[in-house]
Chain A
Amino acid sequence: MDFVILSLVMMAIGIYGLLTNRQLLKVFISIELIATAATLNFVMLASSTGQGLGQAFLILAFSTDTAVSAVILALLVIVSKKYGTSNINEILKTQEKRENEAEQ
């Protein structure tokens, strides 16, 4: 059970940030924190059980994490360019405004 609580606290902080932050980049940082918590748990559990294979699997986890980050960042750039802002509230307002204009 070593380090499980540390990972849980990290993940809780990340999820809280994911739910409360309105900036897209902060959302991205929250996702990074959640991924870091998951990899931390993975490595520490592998370390405490004495299995060196955990480090090898960690490289796969890092690759997946990097790919996910790249996709998120691409989406972030597209959204920011389309709406001219990176604030989620303003993006929603702009979207509503556009829908209303399209209906009229």
Chain B
Amino acid sequence: MILEILSIGLIVSACLALFLDEVVYSVAALAGTFLFTALLYVENGAVYAAIFQFAVGVGTLAILFLSGEMLSDKPTKKTSPKKTVALIGAGVVLSLPVIFLSVSGSTGVYSDTSFGNALWNLSGVDVILQALVILTVALGIAIILYERRNGGK
């Protein structure tokens, strides 16, 4: 059941990341995509892959937040709630074949390292904390840029 929910979340957040009008919201949805991917890895026993996915994802998101604020043009229209709901519906429909054809049959858990062990005893927490610090700094800079851009109003 968890795998199905994660798969739906992954595809829905991917759809939102691509088709929302505002770049900042798209990047936030992309964060969801990376998070769901990491959780899928954890569920399948690939804990190191999950930690690296998280760290690399955070770096990419930091850069995307900054470049999204600096480079993107201001959107002329805001995304309507109807469009958001339609995107979520499209994502759920797209994830139906995934649920019925592939994920349900998954049985492969091979790693004998638990997530807690990888996190606390094998320095995974260092990697994650460094990534979080980088993301916090990038978010701060992005907020300053956003305020500066809207400061003229």
Q: Is B63 an interface residue (CB 8 A)?
A: yes
Chain A residues whose CB sits within 8 angstroms of the CB of B52 once the complex forms? 58-59, 62
Interface residues of A in 48-104 (CB under 8 A from B): 48-52, 54-55, 58-59, 62, 65-66, 69, 73, 76-77, 80, 85-87
The closest CB in chain A to the CB of B97 belongs to A5
Query: In this complex, which of A1, A23, A55 has the most chain B Cβ atoms within 10 angstroms of its Cβ?
Result: A55
Report Cα–Cα, A43/B133, bound state, in Å.
27
B73 adjacent to A13 (CB under 8 Å): no
Encode contact with B along A21-39: 1 for CB under 8 Å, 0 otherwise.
1011110111011001001
A62 adjacent to B73 (CB under 8 Å): no
Chain B contact-residue range equals 35 or more
Q: Is B146 an interface residue (CB 8 A)?
A: no
Chain A residues whose CB sits within 8 angstroms of the CB of B72 once the complex forms? 23, 25, 86
Chain A residues whose CB sits within 8 angstroms of the CB of B27 once the complex forms? 29
Main secondary structure of the interface of A (DSSP, over half): helix
B17 adjacent to A73 (CB under 8 Å): no
Chain A residues whose CB sits within 8 angstroms of the CB of B106 once the complex forms? 2-3, 44, 48
A55 adjacent to B18 (CB under 8 Å): no
A47 adjacent to B33 (CB under 8 Å): no
Chain A contact-residue range equals 35 or more
Q: Is B84 an interface residue (CB 8 A)?
A: no
Interface residues of B in 73-109 (CB under 8 A from A): 73, 94-95, 97-98, 101-103, 105-109
Chain B residues whose CB sits within 8 angstroms of the CB of A23 once the complex forms? 23, 72
How many whole Å from A19's CB to the nearest CB in chain B?
11
A58 adjacent to B73 (CB under 8 Å): no
Known: A5-B98, A9-B95, A32-B30. A25 touches B10 (CB 8 A): no
A25 adjacent to B103 (CB under 8 Å): no
B18 adjacent to A17 (CB under 8 Å): yes
Q: Is B71 an interface residue (CB 8 A)?
A: yes
Q: Is B34 an interface residue (CB 8 A)?
A: yes
Which residues of A are interface residues toward B (Cβ below 8 A)? 1-6, 9-10, 13-14, 16-17, 21, 23-26, 28-30, 32-33, 36, 39-40, 43-44, 46-52, 54-55, 58-59, 62, 65-66, 69, 73, 76-77, 80, 85-87
